[in-house]
Amino acid sequence: MDTAGQVRRQKPATAARMYDYYLGGIHNFPADREAADRVMEQFPMFPVIAQANRRFLGRAVEFLVGAGIRQFLDIGSGIPTEGNVHEIAQLAAPDSRVVYVDTDPVAVAESLELLEHNELATAIRGDLREPRAILDHPRLTKLLDFDQPVGLLLAAVLHFLSDDAEAYDCVGQLVDVLPEGSYLVISAAAAESFAPAGKQTQAVIDVYRQRTTTSAASRNHDEIQRFFGDLELVKPGLVWLHQWPDPTASSEFDDDPSRSGEWAGVAVKR
């Protein structure tokens, strides 16, 4: 094996590239596939949940554009795949501006390559646990104006902040700087889906802790709703992933909504 091949094989797994693998993407390495396969041994539905989360994000962005949002901050954006935030937003409103944020340098590099000729979108490396560093990043401050409403997207990322106090504080810092008229979009792993599995859930948590630099934790409905604080949840509130914004919509989870694995909601800052 050549040196480049050895580097690719030895590169440690990341949550972003594992997520790319769940979605059927090509931007992942052997370590990512091996770790993701271990997760899917315990929860075969993981790829289906990842796809459902991607569809929820798309619906939420469409809703925000319809509500007049033209600025988006997507933290934990992962590897670029079809139906990116900037594609959806700029198709409906060409003046939409988007900043992607991820801890994985591969995700950021791939995003920057994709956005090379898009002056209204960029990607930066940042960690949700360091909100001030994200907000002060020069590429962000150049593109986003926090005197105008912003759509803050936290899709499938909060479960990688396992410390509750830290997680609530970090989200609170981000929400505090949002002007009135801004929106917060959240989807996060539901304890109601994973807690009953016991040993299976612990096995998944162990994979993320041992194979990547991120921990993992699920939260129940009330714990996730707490992230919205004093913001006003838009209808239908915090619901199962596939039920937003239409709780009656048919999906692969009709027989058991909790199998969608995540709670999801959107709220506005008044």
Could you read off the pLDDT of 155-199 as tens digits, one per residue? Answer: 999 999 999 999 999 999 999 999 999 999 999 999 998 755 545
Q: Cα angle at 154 between 137 and 96, to 5 degrees?
A: 65
- Residue 203 pLDDT grade (very low, low, confident, very high; cuts 50, 70, 90): low
Q: What is the pLDDT of residues 240-269, one digit of tens each?
A: 999 999 999 889 999 999 999 999 999 999
pLDDT at residue 195 in the model: 57
Decide which of 77 and 80 is more confident.
77
Task: Give the residue among 171, 141, 177, 151 at the shortest CA–CA distance from 72.
Answer: 151
Domain containing 262 equals: 3-268
pTM across the whole model: 0.90
Per-residue tokens: 225:
């709703």
For the chain, the domain total comes to: 1
Query: Which residue would you say has higher pLDDT here, 1 or 60?
Result: 60
71-75 and 97-102 strand pairing? parallel
Mean pLDDT of the residues in the chain: 90
Asked whether residue 126 carries a pLDDT value surpassing 80, the answer given is yes
* CATH number of the structural domain spanning residue 83: 3.40.50.150
**Looking at the predicted structure, is the pLDDT value of residue 146 above 90?**
yes
Quote the pLDDT of residue 171: 98
3-state helix, strand, coil in the chain (%, to 5): 50, 15, 35
**pLDDT higher than threshold 70 for residue 54:** yes
